Amino acid sequence: MSDTLSLVGYAEGFVFIMLLAASIIALAVGIERTIIFKRNTNKKIEIFAGKLIESFRKRDIKAVAELVKEAGDNVYTRFAQFSINYAEKNVEDLPDLMSGKIIEEKIFLEKRLTILNTLGNNAPFIGLLGTVLGVIKAFYGLGTLGSTGAEVVMRSISKALLATAAGLFIAIPVVMANNYFSKKVKIIIQHLEIFSKEINAGLRSKRKKTNE
């Protein structure tokens, strides 16, 4: 039984190592995604996106091209430049190409968010595992030491509950960050879909005029 107890003790320690590793990974991913989204969703980008939509509605491709040059590299400029290049070539399958480009940008924005989602969902369970192992160890100590070892048992239980608290402490901010980033992705993709519809509408009106 002592071998089993020592194994439980090692497993309990490993749980805390896992929680520490999870917190480091979550922090690294959170910082990396924050930098990416800051480049693509700041106030200047939002103003640029509004001007871009206005230019598309006016069918002013030259104005769009100038805005793209001034704005630098971001999700919207990449999509606008991609659309302009293929629109100038009069590619008939442009709507499908733009849909593909939107999916490509979505994959880029959602990169590593699955890590946050996984950590947020599983960190509480890892902490709970640590608590269960700690409680097993505590009850074994209670059975061995009896009432004289009550203080030792209480310390073991408090340490066990700390694992659950650590799991929740990691999970709550990670879930919040994941939801925040997911919302940002949804907003950006909706803007790109607006761009796509505006470009398609402009191309249809151009074709009608040429046919007339």
Summarize pLDDT for 39-73 with one digit per residue, the tens: 887 777 777 777 777 777 776 777 777 888 877 78
CA neighbor of 19 nearest in space, from 101, 110, 128: 128
Q: What is the pTM of this model?
A: 0.80
* Closest C-alpha to 120, from 180, 38, 35: 180
Alpha-carbon distance of 56 to 64, in angstroms, equals: 7
- Residues 142-184 pLDDT 10s: 666 555 556 767 777 888 888 899 999 999 999 999 999 999 9
Distances (CA, A) of 93 to 83, 90, 99, 200: 11, 9, 10, 11
- Report the alpha-carbon distance of residue 123 to residue 30 in Å, rounded: 16
Kindly indicate the confidence band of residue 1, based on its pLDDT and cuts at 50, 70 and 90: low
Mean pLDDT taken over the chain = 82
